[in-house]
Amino acid sequence: MSVQEVGRPRRRKEDARLLTGRTRWTDNLTRPGLLHVMFLRSPMAHAAISRVDVSGARGLPGVVAAFSGQDFAAEQGSLPCAWPRAADTVIPEHPPMAVSGVRYVGEAVACVVATDRYRAADALEAIEIDYEPLPAVLDMERALAGDSPKVHETGNRAFDFTSTHGDVEAAFRDAPVVIDRTYVQQRLIPNAMEPRSVLCDTDGETYTMWSATQIPHILKVMLAMVTGVPEHTLRVIAPDVGGGFGSKLQVTPEEVLCLLLARKLGRPVKWTESRSEGNLTVHHGRDQIQRIRLAADADGRVRGLQVRLLADMGAYLALLTPAVPLLGAQMFNAIYKMDAYEFACTGVFTTKMPTDAYRGAGRPEATFGIERIMDELAAELRMDPLEVRRRNWIRQEEFPYTTISGLTYDSGNYEAATDRATALFGYDKLRAEQADRRDKGDPVQLGIGVSTYTEMCGLAPSRWFGSNNAGAGGWEHGSVRVLPTGKVEVITGSTPHGQGHVTAWSQIAADALGVPFEDVSVLYGDTAIAPKGLDTYGSRSLTIGGIAVLKACEKVRDKARRLAAHLLECSPDDIEFEAGAFRVRGTESQKTLQELALAAFTGHDLPEGVEARLDSDATFDPENFSFPHGTHLCAVEVDTETGMVRIRSYVAVDDVGKVVNPLIVDGQIHGGIAQGVAQALFEEAVYDADGNLLTTTMADYLLPSAADLPDFTLDRTESPATSNPLGVKGVGEAGTIASTPAVVNAIVDALRPYGVNDVRMPCTPERVWRALGAEGVRR
């Protein structure tokens, strides 16, 4: 019996080329005659364009062409919004290049195509544009007032969405405890390390686009729909992609415009953004104001929850902009039982970069809101925050459990994860130290933050998408071919950008087919090679795409079994499969997978109904989401004199179901926690009063370095998912979802004796110090 691959900490197959610089980032690629594109971008947040003159750029050395929005007006279409979930959603025209007006700083207004990027940059300066300034619209609450200037003629309201479960009024009536809080989810910039890049080439009839995208398949369909370029003449390739975190889950103006430029010029064109350009124009994340009310009994039992969100859409609705906050609609209730729950959200247009998916997309925001207010409930009742959670969470024996918001959580064990986490953390000891420091009036106070999160992920059930007004479903496709020499090619529709699909899929296929891990290769990311797919986001790769690969392997095995039975002259039922060989039960007579692959290749002697080649394919579309969960505990030291916060220890115990590769899973959790901590402590996209983004560079937008973060202590508990045959759950977003409230809860916990019950994110030393106010200084 060969060793089981699933569950092993296999080192990644992807690493070799990444470690030696033999990479295929889009910006590395070139084509004969390649031209370089640069965009001129609006310096105004809101303005009408009265004149554009690109003629000064035309004629400059190296310049091949220069265009304004007017030059694209007839062919550029409107960028898609694929998920207007609320029925009343207003989708404004969204031209890839602005024609008559601009609505955020950074919107493309003209472009130059030149023989190299230095010349293109020079020529941008020769373009003249006259703007008639209009008032910026920056504050969501003011934007909804009747007298606000309008971002679009239809007004500043993008949608209203409400869902109500149970009798909310009854839950709040006579409730012994009502907590009412407003939290702000600041605007974030995803900052994948690889800037976006697009290369489009044409032979006059067909178009090939390389793009640093998470979604080559979706992009192909959308490009065809937006521009009218026939879909069958388009091929989209996502080569090596340097991180995404949702930011490359987009159909961008630049992708559309590069396609149109290749068509106009009949030559290959490439555009690569600078980081500053990217900070302005890669979609942003989060940006919500959350008003949350929670009603509870005196013993801490939650009766009801009422959530009212304002969600900043930015200037337009990009691919999933209005759907992102609504992914929180079923998540604010989290792991807790309650009698009633109401969720309402208004999407608001402002003159800022559109927001869209950023790691977690809607679920981190929801988790933050509920986990913060559960701590407030605990504080109000003078209970331990873990105890308040214990009294409300779904107990292990209650699974499967249908929540108040209508999701059915298939599995979980909140007790086990919490017990493990408190033990690793030394919870009681830290509480004792905290009490001690409080007694002594230590200027450095200790805070303990708790986050017992869950999330809905593995974004699929196509049916669920359909009933929630999404433009597409959530299935995934995989195919498997055993080659004549017995080696295996797996083709997946799930497109990686750092996750390690090649390694994990190899492990799954190796087990399913009984072949060595080394004998499997995985192909992806090219619509000509992997024609079917719905790509990578929402922690869906393994739970949907990985399972599609498994199912395809099972079909290959069935085919091999029929072929073996034919060649060995027995019934398929008499064939048993073990370690890559098909044996007649109780005999020595067998055919290996390799022998069968060769027989299927020659086709000399195939049974009725078995076609040549040992291959198959499958799609998987689960009945339910997966619901990873876990308990994250964070200890911070807060210097009450300077406001400085230091994370002293961080423990994360996550239940992501069965694990295919523990190394990869831990890596996802590490990176996820880091991004969540970054939201809590460091990052914020800041616009000034005129709508200029102030945080355009990495010097202004603070991404944490190694020196800013601690080591994280990880462990796992395991309750297998029941919605897929491997029992796996998503893991890509879990760390980010869990960690932000853990850190902020810890900071607030440290400062409670000073009367502090909130610190706005990012909790910079200045904000912490200000929250302490005079009282902190006096003590």
Partner 1 sequence: MPRITVTVDGIKYEEDVEPRLLLVHLLRERLGKTGTPIGCDTSNCGACTVMLDGKSAKSCSVLAVQADGRDVVTIEGLGANGDLHPMQRAFHEEHALQCGYCTPGMVMAAIDLLRDDPDPSEETIRHGLEGNLCRCTGYCNIVRAVRRGAQEMGQAVNTP
Q: Name the minimum Å distance from CB 570 to partner 1.
A: 46
Q: Name the minimum Å distance from CB 498 to ligand FES.
A: 5
CB-nearer residue toward ligand FES: 193 or 707: 193
CB-nearer residue toward ligand FES: 496 or 498: 498
Across the beta sheet with 581-584, what order do the strands follow?
A: 575-578, 581-584, 590-592
Q: Name the minimum Å distance from CB 16 to partner 1.
A: 8
Q: Name the minimum Å distance from CB 243 to ligand FES.
A: 5
Choose the one of ligand FES, partner 1, none that binds residue 467, judging by a C-beta under 5 to 8 angstroms depending on kind.
none
Applying CB under 6 A, does 193 fall inside the site for ligand FES?
A: yes
Applying CB under 6 A, does 699 fall inside the site for ligand FES?
A: no
Alpha helix ranges (H) inside 79-116: none
CB 359 within 8 A of CB 498: no
CB-nearer residue toward partner 1: 470 or 659: 659
Choose the one of ligand FES, partner 1, none that binds residue 19, judging by a C-beta under 5 to 8 angstroms depending on kind.
partner 1
Q: How far is CA 102 from the centre of its chain?
A: 28
β-pairing, 340-349 with 302-314? parallel
Shortest-Cβ-distance residue relative to ligand FES: 193
Backbone angles phi, psi at 92, to 5 degrees: -75, 155
Sequence letter at residue 711? D
CB-nearer residue toward partner 1: 18 or 265: 18
CB-nearer residue toward partner 1: 279 or 367: 279
Q: Name residue 272's beta-bridge partners.
A: 197
CB 478 within 8 A of CB 617: yes
CB 656 within 8 A of CB 730: yes
Return the ∠ at Cα 93 (arms to 223 and 313), rounded to 5°.
95
Structure tokens at 474: 């959530």
| d(C-alpha 718, C-alpha 413), whole Å | 8
CA atoms within 13 A on the CB side of 153: 3
CB-nearer residue toward partner 1: 47 or 693: 693
**Helix, strand or coil for residue 507?**
helix
Q: Name the minimum Å distance from CB 544 to partner 1.
A: 20
CA atoms within 13 A on the CB side of 5: 22
Choose the one of ligand FES, partner 1, none that binds residue 699, judging by a C-beta under 5 to 8 angstroms depending on kind.
partner 1
CB-nearer residue toward ligand FES: 211 or 454: 211
Applying CB under 6 A, does 531 fall inside the site for ligand FES?
A: no
CB-nearer residue toward ligand FES: 298 or 707: 707
| d(C-alpha 96, C-alpha 725), whole Å | 43
Q: Name the minimum Å distance from CB 630 to partner 1.
A: 16
Choose the one of partner 1, ligand FES, none that binds residue 372, judging by a C-beta under 5 to 8 angstroms depending on kind.
none
Structure tokens at 752: 């409670």
Residue 361: which of 665, 712, 730 has the closest Cα?
730
Locus of tokens 């971008």? 41
Choose the one of partner 1, ligand FES, none that binds residue 520, judging by a C-beta under 5 to 8 angstroms depending on kind.
none
| Stretch 153-192: interaction string toward ligand FES, x if CB under 6 A | ----------------------------------------
Applying CB under 6 A, does 385 fall inside the site for ligand FES?
A: no
**Helix, strand or coil for residue 521?**
strand
CB-nearer residue toward ligand FES: 27 or 749: 27
CB 227 within 8 A of CB 733: no
Q: Name residue 52's beta-bridge partners.
A: 129
Q: Name the minimum Å distance from CB 246 to ligand FES.
A: 15
Size of the site for ligand FES (CB under 6 A): 3
Backbone angles phi, psi at 36, to 5 degrees: -115, 135
- Rule CB under 6 A: choose which of 243, 516, 720, 725 binds ligand FES: 243
Per CB under 8 A, residues contacting partner 1 are 11-12, 14-16, 18-23, 25, 27-28, 116, 118, 191-195, 240-243, 245, 274-276, 497-500, 663-664, 666-667, 670-675, 697-699, 703, 705-707, 709, 711-712, 735
Return the ∠ at Cα 537 (arms to 24 and 709), rounded to 5°.
80
CB-nearer residue toward partner 1: 17 or 779: 17
Backbone angles phi, psi at 200, to 5 degrees: -130, 130
- Radius of gyration of the chain, Cα coordinates, nearest whole angstrom: 28
Q: Name the minimum Å distance from CB 540 to partner 1.
A: 17
Locus of tokens 């999404």? 470
Choose the one of ligand FES, partner 1, none that binds residue 218, judging by a C-beta under 5 to 8 angstroms depending on kind.
none
| Stretch 314-343: interaction string toward ligand FES, x if CB under 6 A | ------------------------------
Query: In the range 341-380, which residues lie near ligand FES by CB under 6 A?
Result: none
Applying CB under 6 A, does 498 fall inside the site for ligand FES?
A: yes
Choose the one of partner 1, ligand FES, none that binds residue 534, judging by a C-beta under 5 to 8 angstroms depending on kind.
none
CB 259 within 8 A of CB 223: yes
CB 167 within 8 A of CB 342: no
| d(C-alpha 776, C-alpha 756), whole Å | 10
| d(C-alpha 434, C-alpha 443), whole Å | 12
CB 181 within 8 A of CB 377: no
**In angstroms, what CA-CA distances link 749 with 378, 380, 634, 760?**
11, 12, 11, 14
Return the ∠ at Cα 282 (arms to 740 and 95), rounded to 5°.
135
CB-nearer residue toward ligand FES: 243 or 516: 243
| Stretch 457-496: interaction string toward ligand FES, x if CB under 6 A | ----------------------------------------
CB-nearer residue toward ligand FES: 531 or 671: 671
CB-nearer residue toward partner 1: 467 or 705: 705
Choose the one of ligand FES, partner 1, none that binds residue 395, judging by a C-beta under 5 to 8 angstroms depending on kind.
none
User: Which residues contribute to the site for ligand FES (CB under 6 A)?
Assistant: 193, 243, 498
